[in-house]
């Protein structure tokens, strides 16, 4: 039996004589994640050996430089020996660097990969490309693109994300006001690993001691039923209007904390003028908001009054900022919390992400963790991560980011390891066109994801089950040594081994590997870390390895976000222009962006602009799935059990289904001006009428020629919009769009979403 780890929990694993993987969760985990039910799929449907796309291979074997090619995603693949695959990768990297320079390589390579400190695909690829002289990189994440950029501007840093008030300091909260809920599915995972799933227990304890929960959002099941929350079923993307209206009630009724606003915030006069309508003639009353949000004005007014009299935590789900104008709900929620005056105190204030990932609310370990150094990237070019298709489609084009005017570099080679852009990016037709522009796409993958199926060179990598590693996330209290359950499957190699071999062909082996094997790296990373930890006495490597884990030094488990600022706003002034929380930003105002003005504002629902908004009757929520992590292990048993007729489920309210003449369990077509996907229909009265919900992560599988369906398996990102949250943050806005849903009358195409693409038989 060996101890293993994943983003969704630790487990013991045994591979029996028949090759079946037996899994048992770590008994110390209070509530193990059901996603462990997908783990054994790591051993199935693997890429067995290196492959090259036929059209690309023909060019390079004939000695021609490859170029843009719209056969990516449709072409056949040819098996390669590793020696040739390494040579081809090295030659192409060498050619692009020599002819175009290192900035012509895009190595942003976004993605969650798998848990592990050394076999961390992003660290590996960045270290490798830095050893070759650098690459065009990416900034921010698909998770929090708008949040971090906005927080830097109006709070001076991202402390609501990096140092939130701990659960232990919320033990006296009386009222949890949850915009977008705190869904158990999201709290089940944590980037880098999680030893204990405690979020549901914290919420249950709060409920048992009498705290009240209010959920504002279109889906009732975004909060556990046992919390007996009051559900205000907002229209998707209208949270800002509800927040502004509650702020207006506090202002009009004199219920806001004037002393807090005066001492700790900047720009309240501009914000209050907007609330009361002196700027635009529209007072942001509950009646005004009710028409936009579809909830009662009385409920909003009552909630505002209740919040002003109780210890209240306002929590915003991360999904709120993952749509057009995603900065606004964040800023409006922060302003509302500031008016309540509880920021910097225990039991209340502002939160952005309780329930978004499992570790949120557990204080981060401030001490270092063993970390693979990534080296230095001398190339200054970068993009905000979600603008990858814009960059590939518009080399040299101008764009704005964080208040600066920049230009997209011209990319010839894209290298990806540890992510799946055909899962995480929006408007997949457009992404396909974007990937057709480059000369070469090199991908390390264990599975035939759509990203691998678009690659020119597919290099098969191991999964975490085939590797030893060191594991701990920032919120963990133990560093673990995990052991491979089995040797590498097929001809797969660790990312490290692949990069090392290519680096050797390019004369960069010493810079990349420092001559160390994987085992030597694990020991070196651990020992370097152990020395950094002095005076804490951590065990020497052989003892740590034999024990399988070591406890990390104890830290203060009781933290209150902004406590220092509240205690002394001069000494602990924020790093904003004013030193305070900015309710008005002179810089944003001066930038003059209509989609991110100088104070929190209602700019629209953020799903689709007219005329599309009017053309498609249903508001679609494209959120993170409950049955897998993102797109990982979609072929696993737990994920497969959620499918309907082999498609990703689409949820509608029974009333909408009745009006459309649809029944639960049937295959439906979900479409808008970007494309069409098939889905299996599920009905629930936990969703607001007029809305549809479809999770991300079903693997992209284009329909047979002529059937007109972009994805027969139900990849919702065919339908979502590839536009930045605003000119300021340029975050991912994939959460909301609009669609129509109709019965699918054609034959239901059989699926090969998880299998190998066509191969050339020589
Ligand atoms: P994953 O499915 O986790 O998705 O996007 P992300 O690309 O991270 O992809 C990880 C890939 O890495 C998998 O294919 C897996 O096989 C591979 N992999 C795992 N381990 C290794 C390894 O060791 N080496 C290599 N080479 N590969 C490995 C997630 C992204 O999607 C995120 S974080 C968010 S929050 C966004 N959410 C939404 C959303 O809410 N709505 C929409 N519409 N779209 C979204 N996209 C974003």
**Pocket mutation for ligand 1, best pick of 632, 720, 722 (most atoms within 8 Å of C-beta):** 632
Q: What's the longest Cα–Cα distance across the chain?
A: 80
**Pocket mutation for ligand 1, best pick of 424, 499, 634 (most atoms within 8 Å of C-beta):** 424
Q: pLDDT tens digits for 417-439?
A: 999 999 999 999 999 999 999 99
Output the CA 418–ligand 1 centroid distance in Å.
7
Indicate the pLDDT class of residue 705, thresholds 50, 70 and 90.
confident
Q: Give the number of the atom of ligand 1 that is nearest the alpha carbon of residue 467.
A: 23
Q: pLDDT tens digits for 63-121?
A: 999 999 999 999 999 999 999 999 999 999 999 999 999 999 999 999 999 999 999 99
| pLDDT of 607 higher than 90 | no
Output the CA 235–ligand 1 centroid distance in Å.
28
| Residue 20 per-residue DSSP state | P
Residue of the CA atom closest to atom 36 of ligand 1: 142
| HSE-up of residue 71 (Cα within 13 Å, Cβ side) | 15
Q: Give the number of the atom of ligand 1 that is nearest the alpha carbon of residue 417.
A: 26
Contact 111, 105 (CB under 8 A): no
pLDDT of residue 749: 86
Contact 699, 692 (CB under 8 A): no
With a Cβ cut-off of 6 Å, ligand 1 is lined by: 111-114, 119, 121, 142-143, 319, 322, 417-420, 423-424, 426, 444-447, 449, 461, 495, 622-624, 629-632, 696, 716-717, 720, 734-735
Q: Give the number of the atom of ligand 1 that is nearest the alpha carbon of residue 624.
A: 40
Q: Give the number of the atom of ligand 1 that is nearest the alpha carbon of residue 421.
A: 7
Output the CA 469–ligand 1 centroid distance in Å.
20
- Nearest to residue 387, comparing CAs of 403, 405, 401, 369? 401
β-strand pairing of 265-266 with 581-582: parallel
pLDDT of residue 661: 98
Output the CA 632–ligand 1 centroid distance in Å.
7
pLDDT of residue 762: 43
Q: Give the number of the atom of ligand 1 that is nearest the alpha carbon of residue 447.
A: 16
Residue recorded with tokens 């408007």: 427
What's the CATH class of domain 611-743? mainly beta
In DSSP terms, 405 is beta-bridged to: 400
Residue recorded with tokens 């009757």: 617
| pLDDT of 604 higher than 90 | yes
Q: In what order do the strands lie in the sheet with 478-482?
A: 469-471, 478-482, 549-551
- Nearest to residue 202, comparing CAs of 162, 172, 159? 172
| HSE-up of residue 654 (Cα within 13 Å, Cβ side) | 3
Contact 492, 50 (CB under 8 A): no
318 is an active site residue: no
pLDDT of residue 761: 47
Indicate the pLDDT class of residue 637, thresholds 50, 70 and 90.
very high
CA distances from 697 to 598, 623, 740 (A): 36, 9, 20
Region of residue 630 (phi > 0: left; psi between -120 and 50: alpha; otherwise: beta): left
What percent of the chain lies above the pLDDT cut of 70? 100
**Pocket mutation for ligand 1, best pick of 107, 732, 735, 738 (most atoms within 8 Å of C-beta):** 732
Across 377-396, average pLDDT: 98
**In three state form, how does the secondary structure of 27-50 look?**
CCCCCCCHHHHHHHHHHCCECCCC
pLDDT of residue 751: 73
Across 742-748, average pLDDT: 94
pLDDT of residue 704: 87
Burial 163-192 (b: 16+ CB within 10 A, else e): bbbbbebbeebbbbbbbbbbbbbbbbbbbb
| pLDDT of 198 higher than 60 | yes
In the set 51, 110, 526, 616, the catalytic residue is 110
**In three state form, how does the secondary structure of 230-288 look?**
EEECCCCCCHHHHHHHHHHHHHHCCCCCHHHHHHHEECHHHHHHHHHCCCCCCCCCHHH
Output the CA 113–ligand 1 centroid distance in Å.
7
Q: Is 760 exposed, middle or buried (0-12, 13-18, 19+ CB in 10 A)?
A: middle
| pLDDT of 549 higher than 90 | yes
**Pocket mutation for ligand 1, best pick of 46, 356, 696 (most atoms within 8 Å of C-beta):** 696
Residue of the CA atom closest to atom 11 of ligand 1: 419
Token pair belonging to 741: 């849903």
Token pair belonging to 120: 């961390």
| pLDDT of 543 higher than 80 | yes
Output the CA 100–ligand 1 centroid distance in Å.
29
Q: pLDDT tens digits for 289-314?
A: 999 999 999 999 999 999 999 999 99
In the set 112, 331, 616, 744, the catalytic residue is 112
Output the CA 556–ligand 1 centroid distance in Å.
32
CA distances from 361 to 123, 142, 639, 693 (A): 26, 21, 28, 28
Output the CA 101–ligand 1 centroid distance in Å.
29
- Nearest to residue 530, comparing CAs of 374, 370, 371? 370
Indicate the pLDDT class of residue 760, thresholds 50, 70 and 90.
low
What's the CATH class of domain 48-140+378-472+478-517? alpha beta
**Pocket mutation for ligand 1, best pick of 8, 45, 113 (most atoms within 8 Å of C-beta):** 113
Pairwise CA distance, residues 276 & 79, whole Å: 67
CATH homologous superfamily for 150-189+199-359+564-591? Dimethylsulfoxide Reductase, domain 2 (3.40.228.10)
In 465-585, where does DSSP find H-type helix? 495-505, 509-513, 518-532, 541-547, 563-567
Residue of the CA atom closest to atom 29 of ligand 1: 424
Q: pLDDT tens digits for 147-191?
A: 999 999 999 999 999 999 999 999 999 999 999 999 999 999 999
| HSE-up of residue 218 (Cα within 13 Å, Cβ side) | 28
Output the CA 581–ligand 1 centroid distance in Å.
34
Output the CA 142–ligand 1 centroid distance in Å.
10
112 is an active site residue: yes
At a CB cut-off of 8 Å and minimum separation 6, what does 747 contact? none
Residue of the CA atom closest to atom 30 of ligand 1: 424
Mean pLDDT for all residues in the chain: 97
Token pair belonging to 606: 């953020």
β-strand pairing of 675-683 with 667-672: antiparallel
Q: What global pTM score does this model have?
A: 0.97
Domain ranges of the chain: 48-140+378-472+478-517, 150-189+199-359+564-591, 611-743
Residue of the CA atom closest to atom 21 of ligand 1: 113
Pairwise CA distance, residues 218 & 51, whole Å: 45
Same CATH fold assignment for domains 48-140+378-472+478-517 and 611-743: no
């Amino acid at each position: 039996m060996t101890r293993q780890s994943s983003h969704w929990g630790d487990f013991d694993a045994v591979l029996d004589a028949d090759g079946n993987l037996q899994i048992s969760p770590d008994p110390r985990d209070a509530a193990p994640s059901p996603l462990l039910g997908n783990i054994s799929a790591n051993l199935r449907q693997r890429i067995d050996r290196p492959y090259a796309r036929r059209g690309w291979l023909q060019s390079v074997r004939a000695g021609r430089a490859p170029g843009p090619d719209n056969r990516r995603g449709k072409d056949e693949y040819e098996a390669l020996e590793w020696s040739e695959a390494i040579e081809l990768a090295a030659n192409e990297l060498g050619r692009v660097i020599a002819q175009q320079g290192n900035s012509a390589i895009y190595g942003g390579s976004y993605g969650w990969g798998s848990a592990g400190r050394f076999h961390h695909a992003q660290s590996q690829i960045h270290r490798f490309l830095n050893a070759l002289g650098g690459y065009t990189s990416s900034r921010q994440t698909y998770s929090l693109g708008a949040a971090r950029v906005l927080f830097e501007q109006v709070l001076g840093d991202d402390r609501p994300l990096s140092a939130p008030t701990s659960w232990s300091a919320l033990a006296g909260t009386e009222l949890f006001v949850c915009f977008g809920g705190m869904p158990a599915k999201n709290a089940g995972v944590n980037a880098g690993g999680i030893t204990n799933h405690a979020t549901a227990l914290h919420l249950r304890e709060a409920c048992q001691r009498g705290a009240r929960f209010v959920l504002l959002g279109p889906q009732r099941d975004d909060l556990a039923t046992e919390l007996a929350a009051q559900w205000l079923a907002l229209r998707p993307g209208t949270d800002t209007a509800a927040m502004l209206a509650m702020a207006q009630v506090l202002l009009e009724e004199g219920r806001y904390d004037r002393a807090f606003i005066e001492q700790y915030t900047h720009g309240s006069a501009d914000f209050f003028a907007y609330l009361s309508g002196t700027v635009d003639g529209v007072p942001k009353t509950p009646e005004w908001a009710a028409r936009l949000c579809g909830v009662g004005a009385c409920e909003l007014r009552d909630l505002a009054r209740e919040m002003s009299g109780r210890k209240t935590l306002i929590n915003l789900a991360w999904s709120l900022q993952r749509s057009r104008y995603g900065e606004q709900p964040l800023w409006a929620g922060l302003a509302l919390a500031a008016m309540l005056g509880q920021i910097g105190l225990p039991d209340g204030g502002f939160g952005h992400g309780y329930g978004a990932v499992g570790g949120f609310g557990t204080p981060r370990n401030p001490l270092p963790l063993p970390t693979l150094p990534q080296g230095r990237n001398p190339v200054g070019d970068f993009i905000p991560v979600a603008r990858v298709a814009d960059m590939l489609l518009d080399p040299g084009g101008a764009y704005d980011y964080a208040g600066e005017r920049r230009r997209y570099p011209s990319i010839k080679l894209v290298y990806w390891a540890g992510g799946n852009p055909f899962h995480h990016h929006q408007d997949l037709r457009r992404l396909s066109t974007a990937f057709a522009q480059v000369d070469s796409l090199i991908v390390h993958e264990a599975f035939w994801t759509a990203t691998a199926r678009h690659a020119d060179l597919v290099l098969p990598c191991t999964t975490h089950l085939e590797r030893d590693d060191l594991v701990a996330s920032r919120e963990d209290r133990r560093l673990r040594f995990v052991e491979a359950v089995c040797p590498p499957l097929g001809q797969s190699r660790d990312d490290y081994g692949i990069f090392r071999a290519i680096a050797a062909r390019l004369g960069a082996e010493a810079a990349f590997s420092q001559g160390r094997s994987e085992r030597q790296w694990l020991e070196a990373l651990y020992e370097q870390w152990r020395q950094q930890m002095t005076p804490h006495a951590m065990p020497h490597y052989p003892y740590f390895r034999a024990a399988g884990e070591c406890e990390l030094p104890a830290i203060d488990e009781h933290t209150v976000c902004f406590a220092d600022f509240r205690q002394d706003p001069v000494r602990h002034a924020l790093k904003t222009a004013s030193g305070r929380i900015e309710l008005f930003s002179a810089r944003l105002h001066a930038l003059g962006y209509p989609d991110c003005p100088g104070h929190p504002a209602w700019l629209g629902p953020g799903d689709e602009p007219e005329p599309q908004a009017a053309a498609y009757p249903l508001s679609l929520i494209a959120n993170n799935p409950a049955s897998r992590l993102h797109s990982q292990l979609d072929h696993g048993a737990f994920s497969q059990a959620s499918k309907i007729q082999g498609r990703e489920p689409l949820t509608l309210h029974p009333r909408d289904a009745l009006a459309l003449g649809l029944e639960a369990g049937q295959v439906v077509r979900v479409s808008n001006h970007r494309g069409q996907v098939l889905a299996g229909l599920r009905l629930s009265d936990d969703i607001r009428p007029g809305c549809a919900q479809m999770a991300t992560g079903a693997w992209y599988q284009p329909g047979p020629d002529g059937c007109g369906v972009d994805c027969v398996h139900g990849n919702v990102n065919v339908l979502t919009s590839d536009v930045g949250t605003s000119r300021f943050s340029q975050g991912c806005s994939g959460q909301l769009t609009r669609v129509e849903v109709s019965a699918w009358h054609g034959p239901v195409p059989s699926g090969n979403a998880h299998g190998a693409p066509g191969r050339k038989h020589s």
